[in-house]
């Protein structure tokens, strides 16, 4: 049974910090690698591929966690995957 993730917990804020690092990596270092292609990317391809795959894995895990993040309606935590109106809206946007 999957649990509901409380968006006010410290673990959730830690996860958001990790997501911020992944976004900043993609924002800055991919541009740096394009500009300095011969100095960085061609000299250390395994480092860059590992960082790319790690940030992609963080994005995939975040998609799974977002489906189980609770939202507070009248101070009661509800899970998105169990809340019919919210789940229907999420499904229609895909």
Q: Contact 88/25 with Cβ under 8 angstroms?
A: no
Q: What is the CA radius of gyration of the chain?
A: 18
**Residue 57: domain span:** 10-93
In terms of DSSP bridges, do strands 70-73 and 76-79 run parallel, antiparallel, or are they unpaired? antiparallel
Q: Is residue 3 part of a domain?
A: no
Calculate the average pLDDT of the chain: 76
Closest listed residue to residue 48, CA positions, set 35, 34, 33, 31: 33
Classify residue 75: in a domain, yes or no.
yes
- Judge whether 2 lies within some domain: no
Report the domain count for the chain.
1
30-76 pLDDT per residue, tens = 888 888 877 777 788 888 889 999 999 999 888 877 766 666 555 55
Q: Are 51 and 59 a contacting pair, CB within 8 Å?
A: no
* Strand ranges, E, within 1-94: 70-73, 76-79
With 50 as the cut, is the pLDDT of residue 1 above it?
Answer: no
Q: How far apart are CA 93 and CA 5, in angstroms?
A: 22
4 domain residue, yes or no: no
């Amino acid at each position: 049974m999957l649990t509901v993730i409380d968006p006010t917990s410290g673990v959730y804020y830690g996860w958001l910090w990790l997501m911020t690092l992944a976004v900043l990596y993609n924002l800055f270092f991919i541009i740096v690698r394009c500009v300095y292609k011969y100095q960085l990317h061609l000299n250390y391809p395994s480092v860059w591929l590992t960082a790319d795959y790690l940030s992609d894995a963080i994005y995939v895990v975040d998609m799974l966690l977002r489906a189980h993040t609770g939202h507070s309606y009248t101070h009661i935590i509800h899970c998105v995957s169990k809340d019919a109106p919210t789940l229907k809206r999420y499904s229609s946007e895909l």
